[in-house]
Structure 1
Amino acid sequence: MITEQTCIDLHCHSTASDGALSPSDVVARALNNGVDVLAITDHDTIGGLAAAQQFNQQQPQPLQLVTGVEISTRWHACDIHIVGLAFDCEHPPLLAFLAQQRQLRELRAQEIGQRLEKAGIDGAYQGAKLLAGDAALSRGHYARYLVETGVVDDISKVFKRYLARGKTGYVPNTWGDMQTAIAAIHAAGGIAVLAHPSGYQLKGKWLKKLVREFKDAGGDAMEVVLGQQSPDDLVQLAQLANLNGLMASVGSDFHFPGRWLDLGKNLRRPKGLNWVWQTEQWTVE
């Protein structure tokens, strides 16, 4: 039973996409941090869920592990991410949809490598691919490679100089729309959640438009409680959720151990919201 004291984190990443820890290590860290309910939401893949579930089941006091994924979509030329929760991870149409997403990621990654090579950074594709291993290649892997090879000394600087919109290595996405991703999640019995709405750096009018159109596309919830946010941001997102009749979710968006952000940390939930785990669709292992 979930209570106000239950520690919940419904957005994090593993080495199945661009996280630094294996799925098993993510679960182990969550357990160590006192997380009670966890969703590993790798980018456009559920490749890490089986290993996470197996490891979790072997623990003396396993946590509640929710199936999760973070799907990339395109909205008015912006990358918008939708988290899917509590779905059937063996649903054939969803698996086919995610396979298509991985192909789009690979094509984009190849073009990023070509653009960086033209800018004088040789071997970036091969180096990032080596870091990614079996995971789909992402901009995060390129960022890690450029830092490890000394091209730039900080991951955030990599995006500012090379991978952000308008920079040398930026390649526009070719994702599908929000409605298609939401439909794929719903077909597998899941809940569609707008990920980190304030993280897209949209101005007030555009943020309201995004939330409204996400709802109109069939979206169920939005992340209100984030790993790093100001009190004003929390208030604004809570108001937007209630105004648009969306359930609220909570997630750290953890990728790697760091000083300011960790699994289950600083995720205090305000009252007065309808949370995703309060719906009949909510299921855990």
Structure 2
Amino acid sequence: MNPSSPSSFSACTNADLHSHSKVSDGTLEPEALAARAQANGVELWALTDHDEIGGQQRAMDAALALGISYLTGCEISVSFAGRVVHIVGLGFDHHNEALVAGLRATRGGREARAREMAAGLAQVGIKGAYEGALHYVGNPELISRTHFARFLVEAGHCQDVSEVFRRYLTLGKPGYVEHRWAALRDALAWIHGAGGIAVIAHPGRYDFTPTEEYALFTDFIGHGGRAVEVVTGSHTAAEAAKYTETALEFGLLASRGSDFHSPTESHTDLGKLPDLSGRLTPVWQALDARIQRPS
């Protein structure tokens, strides 16, 4: 990583540290995402593909060429309290062997899971779902529910992706198949071993009880986790306010990211989020030495 000059990034910086490309389940290539980020005024960007860092160099090169500062990123799926929780890693060495191997192991089994999902959909009369989903996959190792959802919409089985997840592919619905994800401690060990900081992604999405959520935060901190997404595309203003207080209560750094996947599917566009509260310490300030800046 290049040494950095004193940070010019504040809590009001237009940082977008959560987005997805076609390398996982987004619809745009990393270069197109970088161009969209620049057009929307993003000053500091991270590509955080699911369980995959294969697009990092492309994203970094494109961002720097466009005058955008860049942090490496990834969103890792972990199992916690019977749910899938997402942990964003930021500012790591994307060539770190343990991280690369850990993510490869996490991706393993997705094809078998996808075929089981297709079989479940076939039982309710939806044929060819596996082959249909593959048309939307940029990386076959990362075939996911999102790709199946796009197929179901395109094939006319549902009006939109939201309807897909109301009718299919979720617990108790046709096509749902559980996947064994990484353990929280392992995901954090990979991120920290590669020099990065771990962030709890969009905590408002998990529907935990207060006791379960407290357990998540305390376990996360116990394994060295240091930050939480406060402002994100799926959080309401009330949730952003709630997790502002949670960050302060637990002494966590705060992150900000749209969770952008697609121009037609995402609730929030790249770089179009409210600012973090000035009461919070942004995660990017702790990662200042890891930020790649345009020359």
Give the TM-score of the pair, scaled to structure 1. 0.94
| Deviates most, 91-100 or 203-212 | 203-212
Report the 3-state secondary structure (helix = DSSP H, G, I; strand = E; otherwise coil) of the residue aligned with 1:222: strand
- Quote the residue 1:68 is aligned against: 73
Kindly state the Cα deviation for residue 26 of structure 1 after the two structures are TM-superposed. 0.5
Kindly state the Cα deviation for residue 104 of structure 1 after the two structures are TM-superposed. 3.0
Q: Distance in 1 between matches of 2:281 and 2:63?
A: 28
Kindly state the Cα deviation for residue 199 of structure 1 after the two structures are TM-superposed. 1.1
- Quote the residue 1:230 is aligned against: 236
Q: Distance in 2 between matches of 1:282 and 1:72?
A: 26
Any conservation in 2 of the 1:104–1:175 contact (CA below 8 Å)? no
Report the 3-state secondary structure (helix = DSSP H, G, I; strand = E; otherwise coil) of the residue aligned with 2:110: helix
- Quote the residue 1:166 is aligned against: 172
Alignment counterpart, residue 268 of structure 1, candidates 261, 265, 275: 275
Any conservation in 2 of the 1:190–1:281 contact (CA below 8 Å)? no
Q: Which runs of structure 2 are paired with 1:209-228 in the superposition (5 Å)?
A: 209-228=215-234
CA RMSD of aligned residues (A): 1.6
Any conservation in 2 of the 1:252–1:267 contact (CA below 8 Å)? no
Kindly state the Cα deviation for residue 243 of structure 1 after the two structures are TM-superposed. 1.4
Q: 1:4 to 1:174 in 2, by over 3 A?
A: closer
Q: 1:57 to 1:245 in 2, by over 3 A?
A: closer
Report the 3-state secondary structure (helix = DSSP H, G, I; strand = E; otherwise coil) of the residue aligned with 2:135: helix
Identity of aligned residues (%): 42
Is residue 117 of structure 2 the alignment partner of residue 109 of structure 1?
no
- Quote the residue 2:45 is aligned against: 38
Kindly state the Cα deviation for residue 228 of structure 1 after the two structures are TM-superposed. 4.0
Kindly state the Cα deviation for residue 219 of structure 1 after the two structures are TM-superposed. 1.2
- Quote the residue 1:89 is aligned against: 94
**Amino acid across the alignment from 1:251:** G
Is residue 21 of structure 2 the alignment partner of residue 27 of structure 1?
no
Q: Distance in 1 between matches of 2:271 and 2:290?
A: 20
Q: What are structure 2's unaligned runs of at least 5 residues?
A: 1-7
Q: What are structure 1's unaligned runs of at least 5 residues?
A: none
Any conservation in 2 of the 1:30–1:264 contact (CA below 8 Å)? yes
Kindly state the Cα deviation for residue 33 of structure 1 after the two structures are TM-superposed. 0.1
Structure 1 runs, 4 residues or longer, greater than 4 Å off: none
Q: How many residues align?
A: 283
Alignment counterpart, residue 59 of structure 2, candidates 52, 60, 67: 52
- Quote the residue 1:18 is aligned against: 25
Kindly state the Cα deviation for residue 53 of structure 1 after the two structures are TM-superposed. 2.1
**Amino acid across the alignment from 1:35:** V
Any conservation in 1 of the 2:21–2:29 contact (CA below 8 Å)? yes
Q: Distance in 2 between matches of 1:54 and 1:100?
A: 27
Q: Distance in 1 between matches of 2:12 and 2:161?
A: 35
Report the 3-state secondary structure (helix = DSSP H, G, I; strand = E; otherwise coil) of the residue aligned with 1:71: strand
- Quote the residue 2:132 is aligned against: 127
- Quote the residue 2:197 is aligned against: 191
Q: 1:281 to 1:2 in 2, by over 3 A?
A: closer
- Quote the residue 2:163 is aligned against: 157
Kindly state the Cα deviation for residue 14 of structure 1 after the two structures are TM-superposed. 0.7
Q: 1:2 to 1:94 in 2, by over 3 A?
A: same
Give the TM-score of the pair, scaled to structure 2. 0.91
| Deviates most, 209-218 or 86-95 | 209-218
Report the 3-state secondary structure (helix = DSSP H, G, I; strand = E; otherwise coil) of the residue aligned with 1:132: coil
